[in-house]
């Protein structure tokens, strides 16, 4: 059952651990309507039904398969921002999770004040990762940048080439993971028009899929919020 005022944004906490759900929920009380689940079927049902603003997802949730089914869960509500919490954080899993669409990657034992800060930053559209993962993310960004084609004048592709509508669509994709259908509904345009704009965005930026778009935006305009410890 939700714990607070329904006028607040909702957050879904998914973990098999009662103590972790209680700890995470206590540090977020007053800021969100809090819902809890302890297994995957309930997780999928609540994500699809509630479409919460945020999902705190324990990677040890039964039948989740760690990252195996994460993309499917993300598709149930493209506007839900996911923070993945794991017992043994590592760069490979963290980067893979970010590629799928996760917006935060933390240790399950994260201190309450840091979890609250991570939630605030992700809710504001930023990405939250541990300090030690930043070099690996920079390496990933560097590889993508090196692969980006250059125009005839030799200058790298940039956002300067995008129209206002294309910038708007790029922002919706990166900030909330919105699908083409969701973007079309929000902007009151046809889904085919969104696809045409997206094709133009990819061509102008010299990229080929949404992950590259997200990383391109991050390296050009957004910052990684890092825990202090």
What is the residue extent of each domain of the chain? 10-129, 138-222
Residues with Cβ < 8 Å from 154, sequence gap 6 or more? Answer: none
Predicted local distance difference test score (pLDDT) of residue 144: 53
CA 88, CA 106: separation in Å to the nearest integer?
A: 9
**In this structure, are residues 193 and 166 in contact, taking their beta carbons and an 8 Å threshold?**
no
pTM recorded for the entire structure? 0.65
Q: What pLDDT does residue 140 have?
A: 62
- Can you give the pLDDT at residue 7? 73
Fold of 10-129: Rossmann fold (3.40.50)
Phi, psi of 102 (to 5 degrees): -65, 145
Predicted pLDDT at 145: 52
- Per-residue pLDDT at 142: 57
For domain 138-222, the CATH class is mainly alpha
**DSSP assigned state of 42:** H
**pLDDT truncated to tens, each residue of the chain (229 aa)?**
444 445 789 999 999 999 999 999 999 999 899 999 999 999 999 999 999 999 999 999 999 988 888 888 988 998 899 999 999 888 888 888 887 888 899 999 999 999 999 999 888 777 888 767 666 666 665 565 555 544 434 444 567 788 889 888 888 877 666 778 888 999 999 999 999 999 998 888 877 777 677 667 665 544 334 443 3
Q: How far apart are CA 210 and CA 229, in angstroms?
A: 31
Nearest to 75 by CA among 219, 181, 229: 181
């Amino acid at each position: 059952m939700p714990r607070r005022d329904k006028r607040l944004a909702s957050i879904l906490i998914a973990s098999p651990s009662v103590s972790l759900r209680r700890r995470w929920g206590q540090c977020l009380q007053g800021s969100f309507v809090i819902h809890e689940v302890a297994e995957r079927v309930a997780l999928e049902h609540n994500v699809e039904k509630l479409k919460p603003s945020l999902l705190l997802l324990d990677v040890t949730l039964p039948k989740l398969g760690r990252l195996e089914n994460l993309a499917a869960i993300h598709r149930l509500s493209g506007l839900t921002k996911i923070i993945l919490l794991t017992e043994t954080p590592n760069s490979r899993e963290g980067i893979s999770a970010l590629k799928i669409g996760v917006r935060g990657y933390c240790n399950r034992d994260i201190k309450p004040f840091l979890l609250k800060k991570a939630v605030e930053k992700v809710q504001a559209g930023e990405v939250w990762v541990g300090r030690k993962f930043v070099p690996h993310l920079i390496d990933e960004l560097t590889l993508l940048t090196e692969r980006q084609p250059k125009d005839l004048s030799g200058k790298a592709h940039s956002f300067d080439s995008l129209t206002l509508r294309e910038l708007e669509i790029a922002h919706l994709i990166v900030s909330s993971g919105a699908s083409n259908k969701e973007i079309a509904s929000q902007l009151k345009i046809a889904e085919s028009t969104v696809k045409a704009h997206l094709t133009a965005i990819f061509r102008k930026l010299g990229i080929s899929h949404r992950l590259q778009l997200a990383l391109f935006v991050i390296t050009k305009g957004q910052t990684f919020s890092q825990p202090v410890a």
